[in-house]
Amino acid sequence: MIKPSISETTTSIRAAISFKKDIHGRILQFKQRSYNLPIIDEKETKRNISALIKSLRAEYTVRDISILLMECLDETKFQYTLSHNGFRLAKNIPKGKRVVVADIFAFSQALTYCFSFLPPETPVKPRTIVSGVMAPAGQDLGSMLLKQLWQTQGHTVFDLGSKIKPQAWLDAIEKYQPNFLSISCMLNACIANLRELLGLLSAKNVRTQVCVGGMAINKLMALQLIQEYPVPLFYGTDFTGLPKSAKPDLKDQIRGKNRINLPEDIIALSPQGNIYCYRIPFSEVNIADSNRQDSREFLSIFNSAVIVTTSNQPATKRDAKITVRQLLKIEKFLEEVEPFAFAFHYPFPCPFCLQADCKKNEGTCMNPAYMRPLPKNFHINLLKTMENAKIKDLGLSTLILVK
């Protein structure tokens, strides 16, 4: 049975959302920190969502619907990454592809309604999960959404709420004896408390699995935490409990050939330049200093590597930011098959700031999801790696690690 497309389902969910409006037809809003968020008409939206879920259940299993809904969320979040950084809208994003904070808020709320209309499954191994938002952050709708997802999967979830300090997490482990903790860090200020908790868990030799996520946790930080603390630690996107559902021919595309065939929508981002991807063995990745044990430990997390090289030399800031979006799309494309892909950036950090423009200190970026280090930060010599793999540098190249 063919599942409905992610884009069609995403459109249906967004169309099902009803907002409260004033007498002039303008959407009513409420203030949440620095954002103005829309007020959802809960009754009408639930009625629309109920009809949508009913139509899906007539053709698909609860499991298939759960996977589809999370894929819709993943796609929406990715479009947000490409189009908005919390305050600024990226230029040159088509209107239909723009996703801002208000859109993420409304879509996440609609998904919680979707899951509430799905009957709970009977899992093979039911889990006990403790979830919450690390102090000092006040809220995270994503944490609520995961709670609803896990309950639909048949697991038991204890939600601690927000502003949860390290000792309260330890107390929850003692009280509920969970299989794992789900910790959301929505502010950079949460990281110190997260490190304190991981340190306490390590000192007490607690083996409870820990899933970390939220706006303040990016891929690099998650990988560094995994290396630093002897705790069973997972990054948020790895631990929704849903399998990847790639197209049948996608694995052949990536695993069966040295050169990877990229989708047309990625190639089209730079119509004036060529772009190629090649999978290479780790034996061809060159570490500049053979004594760099930290780099070798970092690389050991991954199973293979992908070289990306393009002749698209950005002539303007607009071109540069489009090229970064292209790299992020390639990273996501790889993750449709592989559990995790980690890209090093080109010589500019994200779709919103060029190197010369970025005035943010480390750890203060509004959304660190964009940030990628240079290969040299991990003592990886990219040019020698490409020489080892016999890959020609077209002018702008980078490396993506895959596991």
Collapsing DSSP to helix, strand or coil, 74 comes out as: helix
| 11 in any annotated domain | yes
Please tell me the predicted confidence (pLDDT) of residue 361.
Answer: 59
Between 355 and 194, whose confidence is greater? 194
Please tell me the predicted confidence (pLDDT) of residue 240.
Answer: 45
Residue 243's pLDDT band (cuts 50, 70, 90): very low
CA angle (391 as vertex; 387, 394 as ends), nearest 5: 110
Express each pLDDT in 386-397 by its tens digit: 999 999 999 899
Instruction: Please give the radius of gyration of the chain, using alpha carbons only, rounded to the nearest integer.
Output: 22
Pair (265, 310) in one structural domain: yes
Pair (313, 204) in one structural domain: no
Taking all residues of the chain, what is their mean pLDDT, rounded to a whole number? 84
| 1 in any annotated domain | no
Please tell me the predicted confidence (pLDDT) of residue 244.
Answer: 46
| 377 in any annotated domain | yes
| 122 in any annotated domain | no
Pair (138, 110) in one structural domain: no
Of the chain, the percentage scoring pLDDT greater than 70 comes to: 85
Q: Distance between CA atoms of 337 and 400, rounded to whole angstroms? A: 14
Pair (174, 288) in one structural domain: no
Q: Supply φ then ψ for residue 380, to 5 degrees.
A: -90, 125
Helices in 204-354 by DSSP H: which ranges? 219-228, 250-255, 264-267, 293-299, 317-335
Cα dihedral 135, 136, 141, 145, rounded to 10, equals: 0
Task: Please check the confidence at residue 241 and state whether its pLDDT lies above 60.
Answer: no
Pair (371, 258) in one structural domain: yes
Give the closest residue to 14 by CA, choosing from 104, 120, 77. 104
Burial class of 24 by CB neighbour count within 10 A (0 to 12, 13 to 18, 19+): exposed
Pair (189, 295) in one structural domain: no
Number of domains in the chain: 3
| 320 in any annotated domain | yes
Pair (227, 254) in one structural domain: no
Task: Please check the confidence at residue 238 and state whether its pLDDT lies above 50.
Answer: no
Express each pLDDT in 257-277 by its tens digit: 588 989 888 888 877 778 999
Pair (110, 139) in one structural domain: no
| 136 in any annotated domain | yes
Q: What residues contact 79, with CB distance under 8 A and at least 6 apart? A: 97, 98, 99
Q: Supply φ then ψ for residue 316, to 5 degrees.
A: -130, 170
Please tell me the predicted confidence (pLDDT) of residue 59.
Answer: 92
Phi-psi region of 127 (alpha: psi -120 to 50; beta: other; left: phi over 0): beta
Please tell me the predicted confidence (pLDDT) of residue 292.
Answer: 67
Residue 81's pLDDT band (cuts 50, 70, 90): confident
Pair (201, 261) in one structural domain: no
Collapsing DSSP to helix, strand or coil, 164 comes out as: strand
Pair (258, 313) in one structural domain: yes
Collapsing DSSP to helix, strand or coil, 94 comes out as: coil
Between 374 and 179, whose confidence is greater? 179
- Tokens at residue 162, please? 């927000």
Please tell me the predicted confidence (pLDDT) of residue 291.
Answer: 61
Task: Please check the confidence at residue 231 and state whether its pLDDT lies above 60.
Answer: yes
Max avg pLDDT among 14-23, 131-140, 306-315, 335-344:
14-23
Residue 228's pLDDT band (cuts 50, 70, 90): confident
- Among the candidates 195, 210, 238, a domain finishes at 238
Range of the domain at 15: 6-116
Contact 215, 186 (CB under 8 A): yes
Task: Please check the confidence at residue 344 and state whether its pLDDT lies above 90.
Answer: no
Pair (28, 48) in one structural domain: yes
Express each pLDDT in 88-115 by its tens digit: 777 777 777 888 888 988 999 999 999 9
Pair (306, 373) in one structural domain: yes
Of the chain, the percentage scoring pLDDT greater than 90 comes to: 37
**Between the CA of residue 151 and those of 30, 73, 111, 175, what are the distances in Å?**
29, 17, 13, 20
| 52 in any annotated domain | yes
**Between the CA of residue 240 and those of 57, 134, 235, 330, 373, what are the distances in Å?**
21, 19, 10, 22, 26
Contact 200, 168 (CB under 8 A): no
Residues 200-228 have a mean pLDDT of: 86
Contact 116, 145 (CB under 8 A): no
Residues 186-202 have a mean pLDDT of: 92
- Tokens at residue 320, please? 């540069």
Contact 350, 371 (CB under 8 A): yes
Please tell me the predicted confidence (pLDDT) of residue 276.
Answer: 92
Please tell me the predicted confidence (pLDDT) of residue 239.
Answer: 46
Express each pLDDT in 152-180 by its tens digit: 888 999 999 999 999 999 999 999 999 98
| 280 in any annotated domain | yes
